Amino acid sequence: MSDIVEVENAAGPVATVRLNRPEKKNAWTIEMFDALAAACDALSRESALRAVILTGAGGCFSAGLDYAVFGQFAARLPEIKAQMLAPPEGHAANRFQQPVTGWQQLGVPVIAAIEGVAFGAGMQLALAADFRIAAPDARLSIMEARWGLIPDMGITRSLPRLLRADQAKELIMTARVLQAHEAQEMGLVTRIVDDPLAAAQVLAQDLTERSPDALRAAKRLVEDAWCADAHASLALEAELQAALMGQSNQMEAVMANMQGRPPKFT
């Protein structure tokens, strides 16, 4: 039996993480929550990793939670609620948030290649990526309102950076399905292309040619400072820049540009 989450080329420089339940449009099982979190944790320890691509098997990103999960949650409701309300020690995110928030915390760029649908949990996973490249016929939705719920897989860490509050409320409250072009106009999709996976691979390769230290700092700059107050955001800019200046990869970027050659980063 194939893994429900496949990881290709984990050692890098570009890893591909694929949701692998194509017969179910990559709907999430409880096991998939844990498999995604484990994949992210393992990749965080790969020193040569430079970028990650998130995708789904069978031409579909993810249709969200498998219907069976609702029954499993109902049968174990006190246990599930306890896990939701008590994250593991040292973590801000609980068991059901970590499969999404982990990609935001990963020190390398993450690119979501979206085909088919990105609904519910699949949408929240896509929103956790640094870039979202979608097919022209892709459809996206924050679907939880259909089930009398709210999105609770780290969306408070992603959506405020992308949408106005009124736009976010509309999508969360109505579960409206967005076509790719409307999602792009709202700022939820980075780019629309005929072949999202191929485009993601090109972007990932381009990112491998940049200093990994600068990429890590750039990601942290946006993740930590975008919605912070002036004191915190300006201090973080200075802290990150001071840490980069004069380091070997920064000097290599300068020398490679001056000498007109490809850089060789460590």
> What digits encode the pLDDT tens for the residues 225-259?
887 788 888 888 788 888 888 899 999 998 998 89
Q: What is the mean pLDDT of the chain?
A: 94
CATH code at 238?
Answer: 1.10.12.10
pLDDT per residue as tens digits for the range 172-222:
999 999 999 999 999 999 999 999 999 999 999 999 999 999 999 999 999
Question: Last residue of some domain: 207, 227, 244?
Answer: 207
The domain in which residue 153 lies consists of: 5-207
User: Given this model, what pLDDT does residue 2 score?
Assistant: 62
86 occurs within a structural domain:
yes
Q: What percent of the chain has pLDDT over 90?
A: 78
Give the residue among 139, 133, 189 at the shortest CA–CA distance from 163.
189
Map residue 261 onto helix, strand or coil.
coil
Number of domains in the chain: 2
Please say whether the beta carbons of 187 and 162 come within 8 A.
yes
Dihedral of alpha carbons 215, 217, 220, 221, sign: negative
Residue 25: band (very low, low, confident or very high) from pLDDT cuts 50, 70, 90: very high
| Mean pLDDT across 106-124 | 97
User: Given this model, what pLDDT does residue 235 score?
Assistant: 84
User: Given this model, what pLDDT does residue 1 score?
Assistant: 40
- Count CB atoms within 10 A of the CB of residue 65: 23
Phi, psi angles (nearest 5°) of residue 118: -130, 95
| Mean pLDDT across 148-157 | 91
**Which stretch of 30-34, 43-47, 194-198, 224-228 has the lowest confidence by average pLDDT?**
224-228
| Mean pLDDT across 7-33 | 96
Q: Are residues 22 and 152 in the same domain?
A: yes
User: Given this model, what pLDDT does residue 171 score?
Assistant: 97
Distances (CA, A) of 25 to 119, 206, 235: 10, 30, 44
Q: Are residues 152 and 75 in the same domain?
A: yes
Name 51's bridge partners.
Answer: 14
| Mean pLDDT across 145-167 | 92
231 occurs within a structural domain:
yes
Q: Are residues 27 and 142 in the same domain?
A: yes
Q: Count the alpha carbons within 13 Å of 48 in the hemisphere toward its beta carbon.
A: 8
Q: Are residues 218 and 195 in the same domain?
A: no
150 occurs within a structural domain:
yes
Please say whether the beta carbons of 197 and 53 come within 8 A.
yes
Structure tokens at 138: 């892709």
Question: Last residue of some domain: 169, 184, 207?
Answer: 207
| Mean pLDDT across 79-89 | 89
